[in-house]
Amino acid sequence: MPTESRRRVLRTLLGVFGRGHRVPEDWDLGLAPEDAAFAQALLGLCLRRWGRLQSWIRPRLKDPDRGMPLGSQTALTLGLAQLAWMEGVSDHAAVHESVSLAADPELGFPPHRGLVNALLRQAAKDRRGLREDLDQRPAALDRTPFAERLLDAALPGAAPDAREALWARLQVPPSPVFRALGTGPLPEGLEAHPALEGALRLREDAAFPRAWLASGQGMVQDLSSQALLAFRWDREPKRILDACAAPGGKTTALAQRWPQAEIFALERDPRRLQRLKQNLEARKVKAQVVEAEAMSWLAGGGKPFDLILVDAPCSGSGTLRKHPELTWIGDRIDLRRLAAQQDALLQSALQRLAPGGCLLYAVCSWFPAEGFRHLEHLPPDLQPQAAWPEALLRRVDNRVGFGPDPLGWDGEGFQAFALQRG
């Protein structure tokens, strides 16, 4: 029987390449910590190096043009990735487990079990040679047209070497960044992050602080998210709205900065709403959690807000390091539809912004249509604010906002702007 960790990886890959699905947030839920770490590493390798792995497989098939069924192809890919890059996995485990997956009628294609076995045994004879072969293959094999457009958006007009440097950077899984929520002692191994005051990082030799996080004493929050919410604003807001709140990290940060404010957190998805409630409760955050579609709720009228955060649904192109599946499913994303939804959400939120109030709009995307282009049609009483340090600002056509250099910043790719109502 194949291990549950490998079975989860195969199922997740079938969802990505067979159905164009994102990797679910809970795909590894219930696995023991060491099994989850193994599964995450294996999934990341397969997603980041899928193209070069298929370039190894294809010429070894009897009919390369016809290929092989996706289940068998994926089982074979799992085995190759383990043999090439996971030195702690034995030849037997890499081969046997992958063959077992290929033979499972729910996952693989049993008639191709023998082919999977033969190719993996061949590869296992020279694991070092396999790795060198795969590593030397062009990086472009792992890129799709979506990935090329992403690089263009992140580095407009950049030289080829800069694009390749960014692509190489995007292939390295991100290290977690933390934020303390209490005044108690920090877990051993956490230290100040050099890029941002208040952010924390984990030493390489330190254990992941699961108990500290579970107790609500801290949380994982990307460097860009923390920098975004450290924006300069000299008012004390009485009413704050987080219009797209789940899973609650930004709501938590807003409550930590302005503990006396009345905070509303909106979320429309029931599953994400439950996670939002759990996170806020664990962190002892006082907020009115509302299950509602943001635009409908905003259009319903009510008292205005002094501060509104619109962390809008987007392509997620700036999160490629964390979500490498976007390389392969990104071409399915309808950017025009997303941009229209974002603009409608922004305009709805502006209707509830109080005089003198501030609205933060943010997307974890590099595509201009999702970010700075929304500044083109603003009411005359709204002015963009340079609310972040100069090093984190980006200027496009006389418009200014939050947009750290992708090559010089370790956080996710973000576009954001702050609008103040006069």
CATH number of residue 376's parent domain: 3.40.50.150
Local confidence band at 266 (pLDDT 50, 70, 90 cut-offs): very high
Above 90 in pLDDT, residue 338? yes
Give the containing element (helix H, strand E) for 328.
helix 326-329
| pTM for the structure as a whole | 0.93
- Sort strands 239-242 and 218-220 into parallel, antiparallel or unpaired: unpaired
Angle subtended at Cα 214 by Cα 208 and Cα 215, rounded to the nearest 5 degrees: 120
Residues 339, 404, single domain; the answer is yes
Local confidence band at 246 (pLDDT 50, 70, 90 cut-offs): very high
Residues 350, 242, single domain; the answer is yes
- The confidence score (pLDDT) of residue 257 equals 96
Above 80 in pLDDT, residue 1? no
- The confidence score (pLDDT) of residue 395 equals 86
122-179 pLDDT tens trace:
999 999 999 999 999 999 999 999 999 999 999 999 999 999 999 999 999 999 999 9
Above 90 in pLDDT, residue 203? yes
d(CA 208, CA 310) in angstroms, rounded, equals: 31
Residues 182, 297, single domain; the answer is no
Q: For the residues 181-195, what does the mean pLDDT come to?
A: 93
Cα 313 to Cα 194, 278, 350: the distances in Å are 30, 21, 17
Residues 208, 229, single domain; the answer is no
Is residue 383 within 8 Å of residue 422, measured between CB atoms?
yes
Residues 211, 66, single domain; the answer is no
Domain-located, residue 148:
no
Q: For the residues 348-376, what does the mean pLDDT come to?
A: 95
- The confidence score (pLDDT) of residue 378 equals 86
Q: Domains in the chain: how many in total? A: 3
- The confidence score (pLDDT) of residue 301 equals 83
Angle subtended at Cα 47 by Cα 45 and Cα 48, rounded to the nearest 5 degrees: 65
Residues 76, 100, single domain; the answer is yes
Cα 301 to Cα 87, 238, 348: the distances in Å are 60, 18, 10
Sheet holding 199-202, edge to edge: 190-192, 199-202, 177-180, 218-220
404-418 pLDDT tens trace:
999 999 999 999 999
Above 80 in pLDDT, residue 319? yes
Residues 243, 359, single domain; the answer is yes
Q: For the residues 294-305, what does the mean pLDDT come to?
A: 91
| Listed residue (68, 133, 79) closest to 101, CA to CA | 79
Full residue range of the structural domain in which residue 289 is found: 223-421
Q: For the residues 307-331, what does the mean pLDDT come to?
A: 97
Q: How many CA atoms does the CB half-sphere of 359 hold within 13 Å?
A: 26
- The confidence score (pLDDT) of residue 311 equals 97
Domain-located, residue 152:
no
Q: Give the DSSP per-residue string, 154-182.
A: HSTT--HHHHHHHHHHHTSPPPPEEEE-S
